[in-house]
Amino acid sequence: MEVKKCYSDQELEEFRIIIVKKLEIAQSRAKELLSEIAGNENGTDDTFKSYSRDERELDVASKIEQRMKQLDFVSKLEAALYRIQNKTYGICCITGQLILKERLLAVPHTTCCIEAKSLKK
């Protein structure tokens, strides 16, 4: 039995659609967080007017951290789209084996299979 070495164009297109949807949501959330940060820092967000200065600063710091994580996620999704484009998507960067479809559906931006991930720990 021949071991599959890469996903078909049709499978890659299915993954691309999933990733594009996730990317749109992540970009939208990052934009929302930026608006919330700006509104809080400028004192224009009514929900924070009753907060003390320390509470506002803590909230802004938390939103900045959330936004940074969101932007990191966006970057990982964009990299996954690039791998789809050059047909290396779904190939483990450590073992060179095909990552299980179930794993890619759960974590579409992953670059390594479960076995490789456990070796990294």
> Tokens standing for 7?
């996903």
Measured in degrees and rounded to the nearest 5, phi and psi for residue 98 equal -75, 130
The identity of residue 48, as a single letter, is F
Please give the model's pTM, rounded to 2 decimal places: 0.83
Give residue-wise pLDDT tens across range 38-78. 876 555 555 555 667 778 788 889 999 999 999 999 999 99
Indicate the domain borders of the chain. Answer: 9-90
Angle ∠(111,69,109) on CA atoms, nearest 5: 20
Give residue-wise pLDDT tens across range 1-38. 556 789 999 999 999 999 999 999 999 999 999 998 88
What is the full DSSP assignment across 56-85? HHHHHHHHHHHHHHHHHHHHHHHHHHHHHH
Tell me how far apart the alpha carbons of residues 66 and 29 are, in angstroms, rounded to a whole number.
10
Strand partners, 91: 98
